[in-house]
A and B are shown apart, each in its own frame.
Chain A
Amino acid sequence: MTSATTSVVLQSSDWAYVLENADILFEGTVETIKLTVLAMVLGFLAGFPAGAAEVYGSPWIRKPVWAAGVGLRATPILVILVFLFFVAPFATSAFVAAVIGLGFRSAAYQAQMFRGALQSVDEGQMEAARSVGMTRFQAIRRVIVPQALRRSIPGFQNEFTIVLKDTSIAIILGISELLGVTEDLFLQSGRSGAALELILAASLVYFVLTVTTNRGIEYLGEVYEIPSGEST
């Protein structure tokens, strides 16, 4: 009975089970990465124009975009996914439903991020661009957006991390992403004892993915950093 808890819960035989099924966990990881990347890309493609529309659009564009954003941000992601899967005709598979749901929800957050970044660029930049004869669109594209995108990088990093971990919610649609395969493994008969080991292993994968992508995005920020002459 001494130190029963730890010795019972974490067992080398269970770790062996984790290693035996490394290929399955790897496939789940690939699925998680696919979901994350596709959702982030969709989120950017929809979120960036939405953010720009909120800043520069006419009221006819601004209001519906704003309303869609509020709706998406106010709805639990679980509800969004279930709704898409069971109701939306264009969500032809669980995977498509998950990408669309995670993607548009991320778009709603990314839009706010880009809106803030666009608004943070000094008004004088627009005036200077207009004063040399650039159109408003040229000024936005050539002067405002390049600066706003750089300022969005920390927020984007955050959003990436959140979406990466939220892909695990796709488990509700039966998608074999990382958490889904993890669960499948410990639900097999006689393997419930390995649940903690499996979940720890999955968590480690999430951790590694988070750290590496964050570092990657940070690197992107350094590459595109505007020289200020303060360092070096």
Chain B
Amino acid sequence: MSDPLLRVDDVYKSYGDEDVLKGISFEMDRGDVEVLVGPSGSGKSTLLRCVNRLTEVDSGDVYLDGECVTAPEADVNALRREVGMVFQDFNLFAHLSALENITLGLKHVRGFDDAKARERGHEHLERVGLAAQAESYPAELSGGQKQRVGIARALAMDPKLMLFDEPTSALDPELVGEVTSVMRELAEEGMTMLVVTHEMGFASEAASRMMFLDDGRLVERGPPEQLFRNPQHERTERFLERITRLHGEIE
């Protein structure tokens, strides 16, 4: 258990002339809930996507559970089975019902038979409060419901780590709460979570740590109280002040 669950080691990424990540290193233990904040274009999403290799790093390494997942011989599909991802735009499979969105991966990646996949699918829909919506299609669901299906889809795969890429940014304000409350429960249950969000209420309550990313660099990292009350860098202070004014109170 001494191994960190996730270790990101000196990761660099650029798109053409634009350096997006300039040497990011950090570690997360099991059960950590880490909230990643930073101005738009600071590289938050890119960093998240480097963890499950939706984006390939230019240099540096990512280790999951002691295994180097950025190694050329690493099995990217095996990695992704262990890392759930929740997207800003939900990305639910548009042609499948809520239940089928969950069972697709269970059947074709986890190798579940249909009955077992459906059973597990129903369990996870219930967990996010959508038992009644099993047969609904994405276009029939509200944004908040879609995102909860998105979370259930990722959770059903039984991941070691969950990545959230601005899970509430595409939602109407009144729908944010139903998604963050599911995420809070998940955090309380001990799921390891790396979350890009501007929901400072969620950060201050649920995060074990916060990271402030600016211009491709990790500026500051620590418990949320420290970043909110006693930031070490002026940039952190200014950013958090601004974002808190926009996105909810700290409790």
Give A29 to B36 CA distance when docked, in angstroms: 68
Give A143 to B140 CA distance when docked, in angstroms: 18
A147 at the interface (CB under 8 A from B): yes
- The residues of A that contact B94 with a CB separation of less than 8 Å are 125, 147, 226
A133 at the interface (CB under 8 A from B): yes
Give A43 to B149 CA distance when docked, in angstroms: 39
Give A208 to B78 CA distance when docked, in angstroms: 55
Residue of A nearest to B97 (CB): A227
Residue of A nearest to B135 (CB): A227
Q: Is the CB of A125 within 8 A of B91?
A: yes
A128 at the interface (CB under 8 A from B): yes
Number of contact residues on B: which range applies?
20 to 34
Residue of B77, B93, B140 near A133 (CB, 8 A) is B77
With A124-B89, A229-B140 as contacts: A133 and B95 at CB distance below 8 Å: no
Give A133 to B139 CA distance when docked, in angstroms: 24
A131 at the interface (CB under 8 A from B): yes
Residue of B nearest to A145 (CB): B95
- The residues of B that contact A143 with a CB separation of less than 8 Å are 93, 95, 104
B54 at the interface (CB under 8 A from A): yes
Number of contact residues on A: which range applies?
20 to 34
Interface majority SS on A: helix, strand, loop or mixed? helix
Interface stretch, picked from A7-15, A51-59, A134-142, is A134-142
- The residues of B that contact A150 with a CB separation of less than 8 Å are 95
B217 at the interface (CB under 8 A from A): no
- The residues of A that contact B108 with a CB separation of less than 8 Å are 134, 138, 142
Q: Is the CB of A228 within 8 A of B93?
A: no
Residue of B nearest to A121 (CB): B94
With A127-B87, A128-B93, A229-B139 as contacts: A142 and B104 at CB distance below 8 Å: yes
| Cβ contacts A to B, 10 pairs, < 8 Å | A124-B87, A128-B92, A128-B93, A129-B105, A131-B80, A131-B84, A132-B84, A134-B109, A143-B104, A147-B95
Further contacts, 9 of them, CB under 8 A, given A127-B54, A132-B157, A226-B94: A124-B91, A128-B153, A131-B85, A134-B108, A143-B93, A143-B104, A146-B95, A227-B139, A230-B139
